[in-house]
Amino acid sequence: MESQMSNNGKMLKSKMPEGLDLEISHHPLTMKSVVNLIIALDRMKSISSSESLLSTEFRDENLLNIMLETVVEEKIVLECYSAPPPQDKYSRRSEISCSVTDSEKRSLVRVPNSMELQAVMLQGGSECRKVNLTMSTYLELQSNREAQTVTLAIRNTNFYLSCHKDGDEPTLHLEAVEDKEQLKSISSDSDMVRFLFYKHDSGVNLCTLVSVPYSDWYISTAVEDNKPVEMCLESAQRYTSFTIQPLKGNPSCEGEM
């Protein structure tokens, strides 16, 4: 097969095998196109030498098929997926020790040998029964709430307040957490959110504490003394406001353990 190109690059003629002729009336736009064309012509030459082409039977469709088979390159596109973003929504930021009383000035006391807290009006000399709390604050990503996300634990222990369903309604529990690192970062879709509460400030040191997974349920105390601290709806006849103040110094005693 012979190929010839004019000096001005406008005409390329090739002498094809008998019964086949190809003429390109413009210069290829890129060097890659020239290389592909030369490869195509060379392959067509080898094909024509091994097959008998009859001019009466060889049509434009045959030429197109040969060109496509020899020039068109197959490209495999691999889709790359980045790893999904971390699902942790709540990240622990800081913690403080604090005292807590309800709106009736009653302190929280842990019932001996149980996992129950009660609201009690303490008399002089019984301050050592009072439970102080360690409150950890959390950073919530993409939060639009006017509230602080917190966990609440009995100070100097691994007992944390939690809210989850134990029946038909959410209830308040005191749970032992063996590994506190589990609470360092909490995914919004994990069952560890039961330890999280929204702290809504309503005045100086005055706030309400609402369950994160059950946002209509509040930590509350009963009208009567010496009754358990429980979860309730806002409409219930219970006290839902608490005074939480940072501790000054180191108290000499803690609540009953």
Nearest to 218 by CA among 206, 226, 205, 207: 207
Six token digits for residue 108? 């929280």
Q: Same domain, yes or no, for 238 and 116? A: yes
- CA pair distance 164, 72, nearest whole angstrom: 64
The answer to the question of residue 10 being in a domain is no
Q: Same domain, yes or no, for 125 and 233? A: yes
- CA pair distance 180, 189, nearest whole angstrom: 19
Q: Same domain, yes or no, for 110 and 70? A: no
The answer to the question of residue 211 being in a domain is yes
Q: What does each of the 257 residues of the chain score in pLDDT, given as a tens digit?
A: 454 554 454 444 445 556 656 565 555 556 667 667 777 667 666 655 555 544 556 566 666 666 666 555 556 666 665 555 555 589 999 999 999 999 999 999 999 989 999 999 998 878 888 999 999 999 987 666 789 999 999 999 999 999 999 889 999 999 999 999 999 999 999 999 999 999 999 888 899 999 999 999 999 999 999 999 999 998 899 999 999 999 986 554 555 43
Q: Same domain, yes or no, for 38 and 132? A: no
Q: Same domain, yes or no, for 146 and 208? A: yes
pLDDT of residue 94: 94
Q: Same domain, yes or no, for 64 and 146? A: no
Q: Same domain, yes or no, for 68 and 110? A: no
Q: What is the CATH number of the domain that holds 236?
A: 2.80.10.50
Q: Same domain, yes or no, for 41 and 123? A: no
The answer to the question of residue 236 being in a domain is yes
The answer to the question of residue 186 being in a domain is yes
Question: Which residues constitute the domain of residue 211?
Answer: 89-246
Q: Same domain, yes or no, for 187 and 68? A: no
Six token digits for residue 138? 């959390």
Q: Measuring CA to CA, how many Å separate 239 from each of 9, 116, 220?
A: 94, 17, 5
Number of domains in the chain: 2
pLDDT of residue 57: 60
- CA pair distance 197, 179, nearest whole angstrom: 19
Q: Same domain, yes or no, for 157 and 240? A: yes
| Partner residues linked to 155 by β-bridges | none
Do 216 and 208 touch, CB atoms closer than 8 A? no
Q: Same domain, yes or no, for 116 and 151? A: yes
43 Cβ neighbours under 8 A, 6+ residues apart: 66, 70
The answer to the question of residue 221 being in a domain is yes
Q: Same domain, yes or no, for 219 and 100? A: yes
pLDDT of residue 11: 47
